[in-house]
Amino acid sequence: MFKAAVVLSQQYNMTVQGQFIGWQSTETGGDAIGALGNTCLIMSTSNIVGIVGPELSREAETIASFAKTVGIPAISYAATAPDLSSRSTYPAFYRTVPSDTMAASSIVKLFNRFNWTSCIIIYQKDEYGTGAMNAINEAFNDNGLLVRDIFAFDIVTLTYSSDIISGLTSDAARIVILWTETTYTSLILQYALDNDLLGPQFVWILSSSVSMDSFNQTSYQNLIGMLTVEPVVGSVVNALVNTTLLNAAFNIWQQYELESFPGPTKVNDYGLFAFDAAWALIQSLQQLCSTTTNSSSSCIPVVNSSFCFDRRFLNADSFFNILTNTEFLGVSGPIQFSVNVTDRISGTYYIVQNVQPSANGVDFIPVLKWSGSGEWDPYTLSNVIVWPGNSLTTPSGKAVLSGVTLRIGVIVAAPFIMATNVTDEYGNTTIQVTGYCKDLIDLLQNAMGFTPEIIVAPLNQTYSGLII
C-alpha cells in the first residue's frame, strides 16, 4: 500500500519542482542498528526527504532519533510504544497507528464492562512490550484495577523472567494479558497449552490475532474463549474513510501486482495505515513546495554528505510544521496530528475478537468495537462472546475451585468433627468423618465443585502443633 500511494500520486500528477515523487524500500529485519544502517545506505545514494516506517517500536526509537538529526519526518504505520509519543523527544516522528496508551485505556474499559478487577501481564522484553506493560499498569492503577503479577519474555533467549507455570496457577487472577508480536504469541500460547494454562481455567487477552493453523486440532477446545484487542481502520467499525482513495489504491495494486492482491476485504489494516503515512508525507511535501516563494531556489534544499549523519534537510522546520497541521480523510479514517504528541489524534479504533468454534475448527470472530472514547459496543447485534469451556457466562476473572482437589485438615472435636473407623467386606479400614464441619464441607463442595481430601489429625496432636 506504500507503493500504491506513491504511484497514485504520480497518476494524480502530484509533483515536486516538476518531478514525480519516487521511493526506495528496505527490510529492517527487526534490528534497530540494521534499520539505521540500511537507511543510511539508501540516503547516501538518493535524495530522501521522508521515511515511512519502521514497523517495530524497537526500530522506531532509533530511526526517529536519526530523523530528528537529519531533519526529515519519519511516519510509522505500526510502532505503538507509548514512549514514542513525546513530541519534545521525537520532534520528527509521527504515526498513523494508535499508541498503546490508547490500547491500555480500551482494556480498562473492557475490564469495567465485565467487572474484572485484576490481571496478570506477560510481555516481550523490548520497547514494544515494555511500553505497553507500563501503560497498562499505569492505567490500571489510575482506575482502581490491579496487576497482580508480571512476566517478561526474552525475545532473544525465548525464556521467561520467572516460572509462569507456578506463577499463573498459584495466582488468584485468571485474566492473562499477553503483549507480544505474533511470532512470540504463537510460541507462548503453545507453551501455555502444553502446561494447561489456557481454557477453561484462564481467559487470555492478546495484542494481536494468530493463525490457528499452528496449533494441533486437539488443542482447539482450550483456545476457545481467548480475546484480542487490536487497532483497526475505520471501515472495520463502520466509521468514515476515504473510499475514493481506497478504491484507487486497490486498482493500482491489482494493475501492477495482481497475484499478491488478497482482495479488498483482506488487506491488512497496517497496510492501510502505511498508505495514510505515505499520503500524509506526499501532501505535506507538495504543500511545502507550493508555498516556496523563491522560484530560483529549491523547496527541498539538502546539505549532502557521504556521511549520512552530516546530511541536513534545510527546510525541516517548515516541513514539520506543515505535516503537524495536515488534516485529511485517509483510507484508515480521519488523519490529524498534534504539536504536543506524535500520535494521530483522530480516527483511532479498536475491536475485540473472540476465538469461537467454526466450520473449520476455531476462528477469531469480531465481537466488540471501540472508537477511542466511551464504552465498548457490540460489533453486531447478533454477536455473542464464547468464553473458555464453551460457556456463555462471563467468567469472574478470579481463580475458582471447580475440579480442584483441596487437602483439608480437621481435628476430632464432637459434635463438629467425629471420626469412626469403618472396615469394609475386604477387611480394609478407613476413617469416616461426620459432624457439623463435615456437613459444611459437603455444602461448600456442592456449591463450588472442588474435591475434598479430608485429613484427620492424630488424637495426640495439639492445635498449635498442627499450625507449626
The whole-model pTM stands at 0.86
- What does the mean pLDDT of the chain come to? 91
Using alpha carbons, select from 128, 73, 103, 52 the residue that is nearest to residue 228: 103
pLDDT given for residue 335 in this prediction: 97
Confidence class for position 440, pLDDT limits 50, 70, 90:
very high
Cα(205)–Cα(364) distance, rounded to whole angstroms? 12
Give me the mean pLDDT over the 420-429 stretch.
83
Alpha-carbon span 54 to 233, nearest angstrom: 19
C-alpha distances (whole Å) from 332 to each of 77, 117, 322, 368 are 11, 33, 20, 18
Contacts for 113 with CB less than 8 Å, ≥ 6 apart:
375, 376
What cell was used for 86?
513525546
pLDDT of residue 248 exceeding 70: yes
Q: Give pLDDT, residue 467.
A: 66
Write the Ramachandran bin of 28: left for phi over 0, alpha for psi from -120 to 50, otherwise beta.
Answer: alpha
Q: Higher confidence at residue 27 or residue 224?
A: 224
- The predicted pLDDT at position 227 comes to 98
Based on the structure, what is the number of domains in the chain? 3
Whether residue 338 has pLDDT greater than 90: yes
Q: How far apart are CA 47 and CA 327, in angstroms?
A: 26
C-alpha cell at 379: 460489533
Mean pLDDT across 24-53: 89
Amino acid at 381: L
The cell for 25 is 524500500
162 vs 136 pLDDT, higher one: 136
pLDDT band at 58; cut points 50, 70, 90: very high
Reply yes or no on whether the pLDDT at 430 is more than 80.
yes
Percentage helix, strand, coil for the chain under 3-state DSSP, each rounded to 5: 35, 25, 40
**pLDDT > 90? residue 303:** no
DSSP string for residues in 328-366: EE-SSSEEE--SSBSS--S--EEEEEEEEEETTEEEEEE
The answer on 246 and 226 residing in a single domain is no
Judge if 368 and 228 occupy the same domain.
Answer: yes
From CA 186, how far away is CA 62, in angstroms rounded?
27
Per residue in 64-98, pLDDT tens?
Answer: 999 999 999 999 999 999 999 999 999 999 999 99
Kindly state the average pLDDT of the residues 291-302.
71
pLDDT at residue number 381: 77
Cα–Cα distances in angstroms (integers) from residue 263 to residues 181, 258, 267, 272, in the given order = 25, 10, 7, 13
Which grid cell is 222? 482450550
For residues 1-17, average pLDDT: 90
> CB within 8 A of 344, min separation 6: which ones?
94, 95, 96, 97, 98, 335, 336, 337
Task: Tell me if 326 is assigned to some domain.
Answer: yes
Whether 433 is covered by a domain: the verdict is yes
427: domain CATH number?
3.40.190.10
Specify if 338 maps to a domain.
no
Averaged pLDDT for residues 270-287: 95
pLDDT in tens, 344-390: 999 999 999 999 999 889 999 999 999 987 899 999 877 899 999 99
Domain extent, residue 365, equals 100-234+349-378
One domain for residues 311 and 432: no
Judge if 219 and 357 occupy the same domain. yes
CA atoms within 13 A of residue 369's CA, in its CB half-sphere = 17
Residue 44 domain flag:
yes
Q: Is residue 12 part of a domain?
A: yes
Find, among 134, 112, 120, the residue nearest to 173 by Cα: 120
296 pLDDT above the threshold of 80: no
Spell out the residues 6+ positions from residue 405 whose beta carbon is closer than 8 angstroms to its own: 450, 451, 452, 453
Determine, yes or no, domain membership for 387.
no
Whether 132 and 229 share a structural domain? yes
Burial of 88 (0-12, 13-18, 19+ CB in 10 A): exposed
Q: Is residue 176 a contact partner of residue 116, using CB atoms and an 8 Å limit?
A: no
Answer whether 90's CB lies under 8 Å from 71's CB: no
Residue 424 confidence (pLDDT) above 90: no
Pick the closest to residue 178 from 189, 163, 162 (CA basis): 189
- Could you tell me what percent of the chain has a pLDDT over 70? 97
Top pLDDT among 455 and 130 is at 130
Q: Is residue 53 part of a domain?
A: yes
Q: How confident is the model at residue 294 (pLDDT cuts 50, 70, 90)?
A: low
Please check whether residues 114 and 197 belong to one and the same domain: yes
pLDDT digits (tens, 9 = 90+) for 97-144: 999 999 999 999 999 999 999 999 999 999 999 999 999 999 999 999
Residues 225 and 372 in one domain: yes
Residues 373 and 427 in one domain: no
Claim to verify: residue 261 and residue 312 sit in the same structural domain: yes
Cβ atoms 5, 284 nearer than 8 A: no
Q: Domain check: are 111 and 218 in the same one? A: yes
CATH number, domain with residue 118: 3.40.50.2300
- The answer to whether 93 and 342 are in contact (CB under 8 A) is yes
Mean pLDDT on 20-30: 88
Position 40 pLDDT exceeds 80: yes
Among 363, 345, 346, which residue's Cα sits nearest to residue 354? 363
Within a domain: residue 426?
A: yes
Categorize the per-residue pLDDT at 409 as very low, low, confident or very high, splitting at 50, 70 and 90.
confident
Q: How confident is the model at residue 468 (pLDDT cuts 50, 70, 90)?
A: low
- Cα-Cα end-to-end distance for the chain: 68
Q: Are residues 230 and 262 in the same domain?
A: no
Q: Nearest CA to 271 among 52, 40, 46?
A: 52
Tell whether the model's pLDDT for residue 466 goes beyond 70.
no
Residues 256 and 159 in one domain: no
